[in-house]
Amino acid sequence: MALVWSAIDDKLLDAALGFAAASWERGELDASWAAAGWYVPGSGSLADGLFDDLEQRQSTGDRFVSIGLNADCTSIVAVTVEFATFVDSAEDDEDEPLVSSDKLDVGWAGLPEGTRADFDEVWRAAVETVTARLGPPAVAGTHDEQWHHAIWRVGDVLVALMQGEHIDTYGLWDEAALWIVPHPVDAPVPAGGELYDVMWGPVGQPG
């Protein structure tokens, strides 16, 4: 078992909430990204790289943001910032282990023998940080038995701290991420079986 994490802090929260409240339209996206204080790509345009070249994994300068697009690749439907990765002993690669001192990015910590309980504790610490800013979550619970989620409504978006499958490893590892997903103000905050449809469902769907 192993765990790496980079705690949710006020700097990330300020940037994420600022970006959540800004326009994600193509013509305004670059300004919204820069206003969040995130690293501007060398090309000078996040929007061009995202919509033209499908560069959906972008650096903020000290973290990476994954940007989900609809099937037409014309609009953003989700933004996620991973803050923890957990792998059990059966899936860790002995030749390239998850926790390696020469591979940890600045600001990231690792526990070579980290357990699921440690992974859950990192998630709970993130919930405490967001709760201190936004108040108690509108919804909190578990999904797929062992993963935790907490969801806040902020205007017409949902801000969530979610554990789930690590997409890049096709679910072999687990991850915890900060999610920002547009959601109608008059629609209920998802829970239970609705969670996946609302949080993951728009990704890859036609606009």
List, for residues 152-192, the tens digit of each pLDDT value.
999 999 999 999 887 766 567 899 999 999 999 999 898 87
Is 134 a residue whose pLDDT tops 90?
A: yes
When the pLDDT of each residue in the chain is averaged and rounded to a whole number, the result is: 86
User: Looking at residues 15-39, what average pLDDT do you find?
Assistant: 96
Higher-confidence residue: 145 or 53? 53
pLDDT > 70? residue 96: no
Check pLDDT > 70 for residue 200: no
- Alpha-carbon gap, residue 21 to 191, rounded angstroms: 23
What is the longest distance spanned by two Cα atoms in the chain?
A: 50
Instruction: Give a three-class secondary structure readout of the chain.
Output: CEEEECCCCHHHHHHHHHHHHCCCCHHHHHHHHHHCCCCCCCCCCHHHHHHCCCCCEEECCCCEEEEEECCCCCCEEEEEEEEEEEECCCCCCCCCCCCCCCCCCCCCEEECCCCHHHHHHHHHHHHHHHHHHHCCCCEEEEECCCEEEEEEEECCEEEEEEEEECHHHCCCCEEEEEEEEECCCCCCCCCCCHHHHHHCCCCCCCC
pLDDT at 89: 63
112 — pLDDT class (breaks 50, 70, 90):
confident
pLDDT, tens digit, for every residue of 65-79?
999 999 889 999 999
Q: Given this model, what pLDDT does residue 103 score?
A: 59
d(CA 35, CA 46): 13
> 49-53, 65-69, 104-108, 137-141 — which is least confidently predicted?
104-108
Mean pLDDT of 140-147: 84
Query: What integer pLDDT is reported at residue 206 of this predicted model?
Result: 45
pTM of the model: 0.89
Which token pair is 126? 């993130």
Q: What is the length of the chain?
A: 207
Q: Are 68 and 76 in contact (CB under 8 A)?
A: yes
| pLDDT exceeds cutoff 80 at 50 | yes
Average pLDDT over residues 3-32: 95
- At residue 204, the pLDDT reads 46
